[in-house]
């Protein structure tokens, strides 16, 4: 591997940009001076791609593990830096990713060249930037109704949910260019592409060379969290951020058949450069899982392999310092993109490119994956749509809210990298030294959250009282259908009482999370007008369950939206409870018997406050709503 110092690298880049300057300054002049143009792509010159360069050194390369120089067939996808329609990524020979402004200056030129490409704003970020989506279709559809009218499946690809992990933006720009001006227009014959090049736009502009120390490029990278320091890939269920609210609205409006979330991972070293996955088979969308596993994955892995990449499944080691302990399957909850997709029956793929592979390699792998995705979804549109419909209307009578880990029957032959453990003189603890040489770890054990833990009987409906406006607004934002009661109704329902609340010791994503013991009781309640009835017999019924069941880890309850129910605001003085207790005992022999039984507990008997509270809690003065979950449900 040839290494460049940073000054040499910068000088080389400046020289190459300077040499290409005249060609880049004038698109017309550059086009006229090129030797030839392809017949299928009159706007793309047949200038060969730049000769492959050794992987250049990024500023953090000296502290990262060694890696082998990579050259794959997908390098031929890149235009030469001086080509008129080279993306900023290609102009930098695969080292840089453009700023927000430069990204859309380039894309605006592309949009202007074709009626097949439209640019739509999903909304503004907190700092006032548009979150742009490019809509690519053979019909030039500019709105959801027009897109749906033609009946083709749509693929929504978002890049930069973590703005430093931006591979999907540069891959998407190249692919759009090749579909609009090159020989790949046929990809849009049977499928549409919705590309959000930069999701976390404010974080993208908090750009610098020191933002992601574990990642090999680009030269400058965006920040992980939003301008409000919130992680968008923890925000799907609670939907606090403006960015996520815009994205959920877009999903509801544009109704894609496939959702792809492009990331770059951290963690251990291994041979795979493009890993991807989706939620597990025993989930809320089993038919979609089978389509992804049996139809999508084989086609994409074959395409990546043919182009010189090493695809793999989502990879998480149980112990980063001892791979022999095995690997872990990850079941994401609805706070994450793939877990949210599972809950709302939108097949969702999480791409995790390997952070230790150079930026160019990761971008080209993403390009290959997105291109093959368009081919596969277009060819199998009917099967994919059928799987989605099956999941939406499955309405399982039992719903699993949580899962337990268990060893899997099938192990993994893991294509890893050799390593050794050394005693660190800095930390005084063992540290992993990745050696850069491939090593196969045969039949590693695999563990996964595949054993159902907490299950509930599927309710027919939930009822949310009208005063819980924030909760109602969240449900509406997700696209969950609800109907307000127009007059009071007295119904026999079920309601949870809450006990032993456990508040998180520190803030998490702007919330104080909470869990509690629950007991389901039968009650008769008169519901006020404006109470929202949420039937679970709807396409997003499973999502409603995951958001409203208090034992669900991503319920709005556990995110703290119902925390006021844990505050007791009324009380009774000791001088009042004493005569009240005497009167209650005199009037109710059964209550006296219960009190005598309670006194058998020596701790209770020795606690005067507890004894007085015992009577207050059984009196008509006690707050009936304290420690009661306000959402009711019907069987």
Which positions are catalytic? 352
Q: Quick one: which H or E segment has residue 16?
A: helix 6-25
- Return contacts of 511-515, CB within 8 angstroms, 24+ apart: 511/238, 511/559, 511/560, 512/560, 512/563, 513/558, 513/559, 513/560, 514/557, 514/558, 514/560, 514/563, 514/566, 515/558
β-pair type (489-503, 628-634): antiparallel
- DSSP strand E in 148-220: where? 154-159, 192-196
Q: Quick one: which H or E segment has residue 95?
A: none
In this structure, the number of other CB atoms found within 10 A of the CB of residue 43 comes to 17
Q: What is the spatial distance between Cα 554 and Cα 513, in angstroms, rounded to a whole number? A: 10
Give the 3-state secondary structure of residue 187: helix
Token couple for 607? 């606690």
Q: What is the spatial distance between Cα 347 and Cα 338, in angstroms, rounded to a whole number? A: 8
* Count of alpha carbons within 13 angstroms of residue 203, beta-carbon side: 26
Residue 205 contacts residue 102 (beta carbons within 8 Å): no
Which residues have C-beta within 8 Å of that of residue 170, sequence separation ≥ 6? 87, 88, 89, 97, 363
Which residues have C-beta within 8 Å of that of residue 395, sequence separation ≥ 6? 458, 536, 537, 541
Residue 182 contacts residue 169 (beta carbons within 8 Å): no
Residue in 366, 629, 406 with CA at minimum distance from that of residue 523:
629
DSSP string, 531-595: PEEEESSSTTHHHHHHHH-TTSTTSTTTTTTTGGGG-------HHHHHHHHHHHHHH-HHHHHHH
Q: What is the spatial distance between Cα 197 and Cα 204, in angstroms, rounded to a whole number? A: 11
Q: What is the spatial distance between Cα 93 and Cα 53, in angstroms, rounded to a whole number? A: 8
């Amino acid at each position: 591997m040839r290494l460049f110092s940073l000054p040499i690298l910068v000088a080389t880049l400046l020289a190459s940009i300077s040499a290409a300057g005249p060609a880049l300054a004038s698109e017309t002049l550059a086009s006229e001076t090129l030797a030839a143009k392809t017949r299928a792509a009159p706007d793309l010159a047949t200038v060969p791609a730049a000769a492959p360069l050794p992987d250049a050194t990024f500023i953090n390369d000296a502290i990262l593990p060694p890696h082998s120089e990579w050259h794959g067939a997908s390098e031929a996808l890149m235009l030469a830096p001086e080509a008129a329609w080279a993306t900023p990524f290609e102009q930098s020979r695969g080292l840089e990713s453009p700023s927000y402004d430069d990204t859309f200056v380039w894309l605006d030129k592309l949009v202007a060249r074709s009626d097949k490409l439209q640019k739509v704003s999903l909304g503004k970020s907190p700092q006032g930037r548009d979150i742009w989506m490019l809509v690519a279709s053979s019909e030039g559809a500019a709105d959801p109704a027009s897109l749906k009218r033609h009946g083709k499946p749509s693929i929504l690809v978002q890049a930069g949910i973590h703005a430093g992990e931006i591979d999907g933006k540069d891959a998407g720009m190249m692919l759009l260019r090749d579909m609009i001006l090159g020989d790949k227009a046929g990809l849009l014959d049977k499928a549409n592409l919705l590309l959000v090049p930069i999701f976390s736009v404010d974080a993208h502009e908090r750009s610098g060379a020191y933002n992601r120390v574990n990642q090999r490029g680009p030269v400058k990278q965006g920040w992980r969290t939003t301008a409000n320091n919130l992680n968008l890939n923890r925000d799907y269920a609670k939907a606090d951020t403006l960015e996520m609210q815009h994205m959920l609205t877009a999903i509801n409006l544009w109704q894609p058949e496939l959702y792809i979330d492009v990331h770059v991972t951290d963690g251990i070293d291994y041979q795979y450069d493009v890993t991807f996955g989706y939620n597990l088979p025993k989930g809320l969308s089993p038919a979609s899982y089978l389509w992804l596993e049996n139809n999508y994955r084989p086609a994409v892995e074959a395409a990546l392999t043919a182009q010189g990449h090493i695809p793999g499944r989502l990879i998480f080691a149980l112990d980063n310092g001892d791979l022999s302990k095995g690997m872990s399957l990850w079941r994401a909850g609805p706070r994450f993109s793939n877990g949210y997709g599972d809950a709302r029956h939108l097949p969702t793929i999480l791409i995790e490119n390997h952070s230790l592979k150079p930026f160019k390699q990761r971008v080209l792998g993403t390009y290959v994956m997105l291109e093959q995705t368009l081919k596969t979804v277009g060819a199998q549109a009917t099967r994919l749509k059928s799987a989605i419909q099956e999941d939406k209307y499955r309405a399982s009578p039992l719903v699993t809210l949580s899962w337990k880990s268990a060893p899997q029957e099938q192990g993994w032959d893991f294509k890893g990298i050799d390593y050794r453990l050394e005693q660190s003189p800095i930390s005084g603890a063992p540290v992993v030294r990745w050696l850069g040489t491939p090593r196969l770890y045969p039949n590693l054990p695999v563990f996964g959250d595949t054993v159902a833990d907490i299950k509930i009987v599927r309710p027919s409906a939930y009822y949310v009282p009208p005063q819980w406006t924030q909760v109602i607004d969240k449900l509406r934002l997700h696209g969950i259908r609800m109907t307000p009661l127009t007059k009071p109704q007295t119904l026999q329902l079920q309601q949870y009482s809450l006990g032993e609340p456990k508040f998180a010791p520190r803030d998490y994503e702007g919330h104080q999370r909470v869990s509690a013991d629950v007991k389901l009781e039968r009650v008769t309640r008169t519901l006020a007008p404006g109470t929202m009835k949420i039937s679970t017999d709807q396409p997003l019924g499973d999502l409603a369950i995951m958001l409203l069941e208090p034992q669900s880890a991503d319920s709005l309850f556990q995110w703290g939206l119902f925390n006021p129910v844990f505050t007791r605001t009324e009380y009774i003085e000791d001088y009042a409870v004493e005569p009240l207790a005497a009167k209650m005992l005199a009037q109710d022999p059964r209550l006296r018997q219960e009190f005598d039984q309670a006194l058998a507990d020596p701790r209770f008997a020795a606690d005067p406050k507890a004894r007085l509270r015992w009577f207050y809690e059984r009196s008509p003065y006690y707050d009936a709503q304290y420690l009661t979950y306000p959402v009711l449900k019907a069987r």
